[in-house]
Amino acid sequence: MGQENANEAYLQERYGLTAERIHEICTEETVPAPFCDYFQKTARFLVQMEDLRELLESGAVRDYTLHQWEQLNTALYYDILPEQYEMSYGNPAYAVRKLGEVHGRILSFLYAELRGLIVYIFERRLEETVVLQELFIEIYNCFEQEKLPEYKQIQQIVYWFVSDYSELFAAYRTRSAVDPDLDFAARIIMESDLSDLRYLYQYGEYISENERRTAEYMNRLSEEEIAAMADTFTEGYRIGFEAGGKDLSIKRTVNIRYHLGFERMVRAAIVNFRKLGLRPVIYRAAVSTINKSRHLRIGYTGAAANRQFDYDHRADNAIYLDRRYIERRLGVLRSAYESYRTLANEHAGPAVIEVFGEKPFVPETKPEPYHLSGKQQKLSVEMQNELSRLTDQYIPGRERSFTIIAFPVPEIGPAFEEIFRETVRINTLDYRLYQSMQQVLIDALDQGEAVHVRGKDGNRTDLMVALTTLSDPKRETLFENCVADVNIPVGEVFTSPRLAGTNGVLHVKQVYLGGLEYRDLEIKFREGMVKDYSCGNFQTQEENRGYILENVMYHHETLPLGEFAIGTNTAAYVMAQRYGIADKLPVLIAEKMGPHFALGDTCYSWQEDTPVYNADGREVIARDNEVSLLRREDVSKAYFGCHTDITIPYEEIGSIEVVCADGRRIPLLRDGRFVLAGTEQLNVPLDELKQGYCSLRDQRREANPLG
């Protein structure tokens, strides 16, 4: 305790010194124009953070009205909101234009990194606050010299900052993933009056209309409705362990990831998980460059204040990513896992609540932001593989599971409440009914040596997917019968294809992957590996290929076809068509609305040797492919650290046929409809949709006979 007090006193002293110096910088003009404007504005943001800290520690915010909280929240994120972004130093394009190419890009990085102070101050993390302020002052000092600093000088300051403080930032992140005593968010959820929307602002996240209106809507639902949503969520998690033959009783924690506004459901889920012997581990989406994963937000999160800002800074690690840094990062992670070995071993895996309905994001590509070099791209892939291997070593995949469920947010449109109720219905469809129809599909698929998928009406897909050979059909099967457990809602059968013999073209007119839009996406396969790719987003093929290389290929020269699946949830498809929201659905639901194909690792990566059985007792043997089998010789060649599902919607499907060794072809779908005997009921929602269109057309004709 004495040592802790001494450390706290030392940090307080450092904080006082940095705060005093930052106040001086706000009015100093000791650095040349135009850098003076940059440093003064950034210093004023840091003073704003100091004021925030005093406000929170004094408890004055307890008496804030909802309107005052809204004003404070807007002020914290004001400078990077879309309306101001074109004139913000957080925008690399603006920073380069104002400060020049030598310094603008890296000073924009500094500005973006300092914005993490909002989180650290809300969470009372003083050391992170102090070291970031010291970083700002150290770089400022370089510009006070007679000669402007060279880029290398600033780059080295940043390099040694992320290296020296990896232990602080990365180790804390590791602990936050397994230690339930880090309960900042859990206390807000369990102790707040959720009918008082001021609780939303206690996280420090950006709060938009989506979060406010979601919380308002959740507050109007009955306890029974909330309990039903939570039960579906937690029961899916439990069934995932049961279906996988994994022992949940040896686990003590579960990671809950959610979007702000869903606290009533999360609170009910926490109660359910506690009955299963699990305490919640709830960590925030990363704000430090050390822990970020490109532009993705993994953990609990509010709204993205500006998705273009996140996208512009997705590759800031290009400043420091080299082999020495990777070795440092892996060493820190290994040490952290050793420190929390017991907690890690007792961790059961994530339970995720996704949201959908936001306006689709089409990023603007710019030359000014950082981009990984070719060498760095390979290092990044290597690091991700090693990070995955370390995680699996301490939180074994064979012992953990997960579940994911999704709900709409108000931005989806005026029919939000209808869509929400319909989504709840989709999430609770009778899995036994789907299980039986999907078994009919599997019985046909198990007869084949390949599956031939062809598109129609402008969809250029013509792909032969090779299948593994069954040696004992009575005991073995190729496709997993996926019902509503880990992936909610119900509705797919999937396999790991055989790569040899998988050839052709995969094409989709429009698809959203990882929150990004792709138009006219085309991928060519040769022997199961990506041979070529293109899309129609940008004016030049160089831009299009670069976009895919970074965000779909994850900088790999090629990727295997890791999964082939047939989605059966026609009810979800009809919901998407009826409300015109197909472009807003998450992969979780979209992948159930047609055949989908995953680039990268198989669904069983790192768990291929764990037996998987369908409800009929047959073992799913197609868990490997020729690439994943390389783990037995060189594990670094077996995994890619990515798995991206690409779905072809039913309306673009010409046919899906099982190709048998004796020349027979068994049709499964034709013109977007299921044709195999025993699957006819899957067409009922499609028929209802068609009847609805006909009825609407007839109504229009009655209203306008000439139309």
d(CA 517, CA 542): 17
Q: Is the dihedral of CA 89, 90, 94, 97 positive or negative?
A: positive
Give the pLDDT band of residue 702 (cuts 50, 70, 90).
Answer: very low
d(CA 358, CA 518): 16
Higher pLDDT, 360 or 24: 24
Q: What is the pLDDT of residue 696?
A: 35
Q: Does the pLDDT at position 32 exceed 90?
A: yes
Give the pLDDT band of residue 580 (cuts 50, 70, 90).
Answer: very high
Q: Does the pLDDT at position 548 exceed 90?
A: yes
Q: For residue 611, is it left (φ>0), alpha (ψ between -120 and 50) or beta?
A: beta
Instruction: Please measure the distance between the N-terminal and C-terminal CA atoms of the chain and give it in whole angstroms.
Output: 82
Please choose, from the candidates 569, 530, 576, the residue with its C-alpha nearest in 3D space to the C-alpha of residue 553: 530
Higher pLDDT, 694 or 421: 421
Q: What is the pLDDT of residue 1?
A: 60
Mean pLDDT across 275-290: 95
**How much of the chain exceeds pLDDT 70, in percent?**
97
DSSP E strand boundaries for 238-300: 253-257, 279-281
Cβ atoms of residues 590 and 637 within 8 Å: no
Give the pLDDT band of residue 484 (cuts 50, 70, 90).
Answer: low
What is the rounded (10 degree) CA torsion for 606, 609, 610, 614?
110
Which residues neighbour 686 within 8 Å (Cβ) at sequence distance 6 or greater?
570, 573, 574, 650, 672, 673
Mean pLDDT across 285-313: 91
Please choose, from the candidates 297, 236, 246, the residue with its C-alpha nearest in 3D space to the C-alpha of residue 269: 236
574 sits in which H/E element: helix 570-579
Q: Which of 106-115, 250-259, 288-297, 586-595 has the lowest mean pLDDT?
A: 288-297
d(CA 389, CA 407): 32
Q: What is the pLDDT of residue 245?
A: 85
Q: Does the pLDDT at position 705 exceed 60?
A: no
Identify the bridge partners of residue 494 per DSSP, sorted by sequence position. Answer: 480, 565
Mean pLDDT across 348-368: 91
Q: What is the pLDDT of residue 381?
A: 81
454 sits in which H/E element: strand 450-455
What percentage of the chain's residues is helix, strand, coil (to nearest 5)? 50, 20, 35
Mean pLDDT across 25-29: 95
Cβ atoms of residues 668 and 656 within 8 Å: yes
Separation of CA 352 from chain center: 10
Range with top average pLDDT, 391-405, 436-450, 693-707: 436-450
Q: How many other CB atoms are found less than 10 A from the CB of residue 247?
A: 10
Q: What is the pLDDT of residue 487?
A: 81
313 sits in which H/E element: none
- The overall average pLDDT reported for the chain is 93
Q: What is the pLDDT of residue 528?
A: 97
Amino acid identity at 340: Y
d(CA 54, CA 59): 9
Identify the residue whose tokens are 């060794």: 661
d(CA 643, CA 530): 13
Mean pLDDT across 306-325: 96
Amino acid identity at 237: Y
Identify the bridge partners of residue 408 per DSSP, sorted by sequence position. Answer: 356
Mean pLDDT across 34-60: 97
Higher pLDDT, 642 or 259: 259
Give the pLDDT band of residue 288 (cuts 50, 70, 90).
Answer: very high
Burial of 541 (0-12, 13-18, 19+ CB in 10 A): exposed
Cβ atoms of residues 81 and 305 within 8 Å: yes
